Copies of this chain bind each other. A is one copy, B any other.
Amino acid sequence: MYEGFTTEQLIERKQAMEARFAQYKAQNLKLDMSRGKPSKEQLDLSNGMYTQVTDFKSEDGVDCRNYGMPDGLPEMKRIFAQMLDVASDQIIIGDSSSLNLMYDTVARAYNHGLLSAKPWSRLEKVKFLCPSPGYDRHFAISQLFGMELITVPMMDDGPDMDLVEALVRNDEAVKGIWCVPKYSNPTGAIYSDAVVKRLAQMKTKAEDFLIIWDNAYSVHQFYEENPLLNIMEECEKAGNPNRVFIFASTAKISFAGAGVAAMAASRDNIRHTLSQISIQTINPNKVNHLLHARFFKDYDGIKAHMKKHAQILRPKFEAVIAILKKNLEGLNVAEWTSPRGGYFISLDVTAGCAKKVVAKAKEAGVTLTGAGATYPYGIDPQDRNIRLAPSFPPLNELIQAIEIVCTCIELVALEKIQ
């Protein structure tokens, strides 16, 4: 860090940072970039769903207000099928939260068992692979069910597959892996074709090994479209068609808290899951499906809509990266990713400093995702990683917040040196 700086220059720089920090603090700011929430401007893009609702009939004449259809509305299935590149009869649509669909999938494996497998609740131990840095809410689900969470390093092209293959090969207790394959949370990495193939093909000791494929950001690019290999096809080709459950939602397409979530799987998995869902519930909110299907019409409608989101998000991500670069480049105090889509930037500070940086930022009025959140049990072994969520704050507030974060990073680093 600070190579080529004299002791005097370091002291000077620290004093400058302290002065800047004091100024920030005096402003009593309240800036929140802790969660990947869409901004008001983004949400406004979909208000049209609720205007001019004249009737509630589906294209097949079904009254969406009434009971029925535990697997969701066909026209909404069609859109998800196009989006996820699977057949419509491989889709089940739920209510708003895809996280809830993932939780339920784990809960079903636990209570009733996947296909003909033994329920996980009957086993001594269940382990789950957690590519990290990753999504805290995924890890929290595994933890709630008492699983042992195993950290797997997240690389630029997906999880460290040598390690994954070694872990699943001989241990029957390793039952699955959490994946955000495109614009990964938080690094923005896209799983390479090789990684997708290896996940689909690898030999697992557990016959009911489960890939939870949280394709949350499949259409959320800022620039060009970035391809992702179709894992369902790869699993079929490899003779492991039942290994993967794919999840997606319109949370970051329409309304974050009132979108439509879906899951895709092999026909056997869908049939088996649906036999349980139709006992669990009567139907998801089909009126919400109908409003979405009418508003977006088809996959092309979704793609056109996502261009509007990109126009709002791109400048925010570019601003964050430009400010990080302007302040920190060459100092060797931090590294960051430059995602081509998604909702997060992963920031690595000097080892042992992430918690201090987050605390300092908080002191100056900037709320960041808690340090450690991106690792199993909330513990980052190196205390390095910080997740930045640039989507929610207006651009001017975001710029201010990142400037503050930069100051905090330098302050903590300079304190460490001296």
Q: Number of contact residues on A: which range applies?
A: 35 or more
In this assembly, does A328 line the interface, its C-beta being within 8 Å of a C-beta of chain B? Answer: no
Kindly report which residue of chain B lies nearest to residue A255, judged by CB atoms: B65
Q: CB distance B141 to A97 under 8 Å? A: no
Contacts of A97 in B (CB 8 A): 281-283
Q: In the bound complex, how far is the Cα of B46 from the Cα of A141, in angstroms?
A: 37
Q: In the bound complex, how far is the Cα of B56 from the Cα of A51, in angstroms?
A: 12
Q: CB distance A287 to B257 under 8 Å? A: yes
- Number of this chain's copies in the assembly equals 2
Q: A95-B284, A99-B282 are in contact. Are A43 and B67 (CB under 8 A)?
A: no
Q: CB distance A112 to B144 under 8 Å? A: yes
Contacts of A37 in B (CB 8 A): 66-67
Q: CB distance B255 to A287 under 8 Å? A: yes
Q: In the bound complex, how far is the Cα of B258 from the Cα of A69, in angstroms?
A: 12
**Cβ distance A218 to chain B, nearest Cβ, rounded Å:** 19
In this assembly, does A5 line the interface, its C-beta being within 8 Å of a C-beta of chain B? Answer: no
Contacts of A63 in B (CB 8 A): 40, 43
Q: In the bound complex, how far is the Cα of B39 from the Cα of A65, in angstroms?
A: 10
**Cβ distance A16 to chain B, nearest Cβ, rounded Å:** 38
Q: CB distance B67 to A99 under 8 Å? A: no
Q: CB distance B65 to A281 under 8 Å? A: no
In this assembly, does A137 line the interface, its C-beta being within 8 Å of a C-beta of chain B? Answer: yes
Contacts of A65 in B (CB 8 A): 43, 46, 255-258
Contacts of A367 in B (CB 8 A): none
Q: A40-B63, A111-B107 are in contact. Are A258 and B288 (CB under 8 A)?
A: yes
In this assembly, does A38 line the interface, its C-beta being within 8 Å of a C-beta of chain B? Answer: yes
Q: Which of B100, B140, B280 contacts A99 (CB 8 A)?
A: B280
* Besides A46-B65, A103-B281, A119-B121, 9 other A-B contacts (C-beta < 8 A): A47-B56, A51-B53, A68-B257, A95-B96, A96-B285, A103-B280, A110-B121, A257-B283, A258-B288
